[in-house]
Amino acid sequence: MNSKVILIVEDDFLNRRLTKKILQENSYQVLEAKNANEALTILNKELVDLAILDINLGDGEMDGISLGNLIQNKQKVPFIYLTAYENAKVISEAVATSPYSYLTKPFKNSDLIASIELALIKSSKEDKPKHSILVKDGEYKVELLLDDINFINSEGNYLLFYTNEKTFKSRATISQILELLPPSKFIQIHRAFIVNKDKIEKYSAKNVVIKNTIIPLSKKDLFEK
């Protein structure tokens, strides 16, 4: 299954269901929102890789362009527009919010998937220095400084991030988080553990010790360099 999580923000049930079906057929994980408020709640609680925003989200509701502007300024999530609007004014306002793509309805399934994949590639290649990562603290997402992480433990579908103060959680795998962490600072020493090299207090052929926590070491030649 594709590990990428896509948020669909669409007020029309049939359009939302169609888009969801296309994404699931291409192995994406899907979250849904009917309006901007639901979308912002999800973005504040879940780790989302890309958002698909309809511009018209219903009478009396915040429109997709306003939502896109909020995401651009406050959220670290790439987004694309999927809309029936084609007039120059709307397109100009949408482009000003820096979307990763703009598709008009009706659309070809292949065009939607291509736009998503290009947006994800573009987002992953952007030169953004990684000093922190998004994790969950209770119901909310927070920025966790990499320097504060002592070690990471994989438990089922979640990762636990251990710091001096508390433990944070994220729905991800070891392989996914390794793509985000600088290898000069973090190293996987066991199938279920990643450690911050700077926090290692001592180690043996079998274990590593960080803050009085004994962590199993399965790669025996890891520090023999």
Q: What residue type is assigned to position 40 of the chain?
A: L
Nearest partner of 51 among 22, 76, 25, judged by Cα: 76
CA distance 106 to 84: 7
Q: What residue type is assigned to position 168 of the chain?
A: F
The CATH code belonging to domain 5-125 is 3.40.50.2300
| Res. 224 pLDDT band, cuts 50 70 90 | low
Contact 200, 206 (CB under 8 A): no
How big, in percent rounded to 5, are the helix, strand and coil portions of the chain? 30, 30, 40
In the predicted structure, residue 221 carries a pLDDT above the cut 60: no
> For 138-189, how does the pLDDT look when each residue is reduced to its tens digit (9 = 90+)?
878 888 899 999 999 999 888 999 999 999 998 888 888 888 888 888 999 9
Q: Mean of the pLDDT values across residues 67-80? A: 87
CATH architecture, domain defined by 132-216:
Beta Barrel (2.40)
Comparing 52 with 126, which gets the higher pLDDT?
52
**What count of other Cβ atoms lies within 10 Å of the Cβ of residue 118?**
13
The reply to whether domains 5-125 and 132-216 share a CATH topology is no
Which segments of the chain does DSSP mark as H helices, in order? 13-25, 36-45, 64-74, 88-95, 109-125, 174-180
Global pTM reads 0.62
Residue ranges of domains in the chain? 5-125, 132-216
> For 124-136, how does the pLDDT look when each residue is reduced to its tens digit (9 = 90+)?
766 555 678 888 8
